[in-house]
């Protein structure tokens, strides 16, 4: 009798435990954007990129040359006090050597900024901004839009604050930019 009740308790606990774990992990996935292609509204591909300590959600996007993209960067730094994060897209890391013979160079920026010569629309104004990057304090949000320029291939985005410590801690993601449709 007692053993039977014990078995039932353990069984019910196991089922409830599995349900809660699966539910929580599935919910966690929905917090991020489900699709690397973004959400298309009126022909604009909308992405919301959440900045956490020290990663982006999503960490991967797929764009196509010529499509309109609207990015919302949301700094959701979990720590208190929340800390600032940065967002910039580029290729080829600029690193600062710290005297050690090999590696251990800190990545501090991009050699090629993706937004070079790209008109960026923000707050009703459109203009190219040299070396464009977005820096936000904790809790801030910023939206901008642009047309994906003809620079297909693999690009990366990252945060280089604190002399590249954020980048080294894993605060980077990548974008596959596909050639224009039909080309």
Partner 1 sequence: MATNQMQVQPLDDMNGDKSAFTITMLYPLLRATFWGLTGYFAAAWITAAVTGNVLVGALPATVGYVAGMIGWLLGSGVWEGWIRRAFGGKEAPSYTGIERYFRFGPDSKSTAVRYVIFNIAAFFFAGLFAMAIRIELLTPDSTSWWMSEVMYNETFGIHGVIMLLGVVASAIVGGAGYYLLPLMVGARNVVYPKLLGLSWWLLPPAGLAVFLSPLIGGFQTGWWGYPPLAQNSGNGIVFYALGAATILIASLFGAINIAGTMVYMRAKGMSLGRVPIFIWGLFAAATILIVESPATYTGALMDLSDMIAGSHFYTGPTGHPLAYMDQFWFLFHPEVYVFILPAFAIWLEILPAAAKRPLFARGWAIAGLVGVSMLGAMLGVHHYFTAVSDARMPIFMTLTETVSVPTGFIYLSAIGTIWGGRLRINAAVLLILMAMMNFLVGGLTGIFNADVPADLQLHNTYWVVAHFHYTMLGGVIFTWIGALYWWFPKVTGRKINEFWGKFHAWWFFVFFNCTFFPMFIAGIDGMNRRIAIYLPYLHQINMFISISAFLLGAGFLIPLANLVYSWRYGPKADANPWGSKGLEWQVKSPTPYVPYPATIEPEVVGPNDNYAPGAKEPFVWVSTPSK
**Region binding partner 1 by CB under 8 A among candidate stretches 6-14, 121-129, 140-148, 172-180:** 6-14
Contacts of 87 (CB under 8 A, 6+ apart): 49, 51, 56, 73, 133, 134, 135, 136, 157, 159
Closest distance between partner 1 and the C-beta of residue 27, in Å? Answer: 6
**Region binding partner 1 by CB under 8 A among candidate stretches 87-95, 120-128, 145-153, 165-173:** 165-173
**80 is an interface residue for partner 1 by CB under 8 A:** yes
Q: Assess contact for 62 and 175: CB atoms under 8 A.
A: yes
Binder among 45, 47, 54, 87 for partner 1 (CB under 8 A)? 54
Closest distance between partner 1 and the C-beta of residue 110, in Å? Answer: 20
Residue 57 neighbours by CB distance under 10 Å:
16
If DSSP codes are grouped into helix, strand and coil, which group holds residue 20? helix
The secondary structure element, H or E, covering residue 132 is: none
Token pair 């954020």 is found at 166
Residue 77 neighbours by CB distance under 10 Å:
20
If DSSP codes are grouped into helix, strand and coil, which group holds residue 8? helix
**102 is an interface residue for partner 1 by CB under 8 A:** yes
**Region binding partner 1 by CB under 8 A among candidate stretches 48-56, 65-73, 112-120, 174-182:** 48-56
Q: Assess contact for 87 and 77: CB atoms under 8 A.
A: no
**13 is an interface residue for partner 1 by CB under 8 A:** yes
Using CB under 8 A as the binding criterion, the count of chain residues that bind partner 1 stands at 37
The footprint of partner 1 (CB under 8 A) covers 3, 6-7, 9-10, 13-14, 16-17, 20-21, 23-25, 27-28, 31, 52-54, 57, 76, 78-81, 83, 100-104, 162, 165, 168-170
């Amino acid at each position: 009798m007692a053993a039977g009740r014990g078995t039932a308790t353990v069984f019910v606990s196991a089922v409830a435990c599995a349900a809660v774990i699966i539910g929580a992990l599935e919910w966690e996935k929905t917090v991020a954007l489900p699709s690397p292609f973004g959400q298309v509204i009126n022909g604009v591909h909308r992405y919301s990129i959440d900045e956490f300590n020290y990663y982006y959600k999503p960490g991967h996007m797929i764009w196509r040359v010529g499509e309109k993209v609207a990015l919302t960067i949301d700094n959701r730094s979990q720590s208190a006090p929340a800390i600032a994060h940065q967002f910039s897209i580029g290729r080829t890391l600029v690193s600062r050597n710290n005297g050690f013979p090999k590696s251990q160079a800190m990545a501090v920026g991009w050699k090629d900024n993706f937004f070079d010569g790209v008109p960026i629309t923000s707050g009703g104004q459109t203009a190219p901004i040299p070396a464009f990057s977005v820096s936000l304090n904790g809790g801030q949000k910023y939206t901008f839009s642009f047309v994906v320029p003809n620079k297909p291939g693999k690009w990366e985005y990252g945060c280089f604050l604190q002399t590249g410590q954020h980048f080294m801690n894993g605060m980077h993601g990548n974008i596959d930019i596909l050639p224009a449709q039909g080309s």
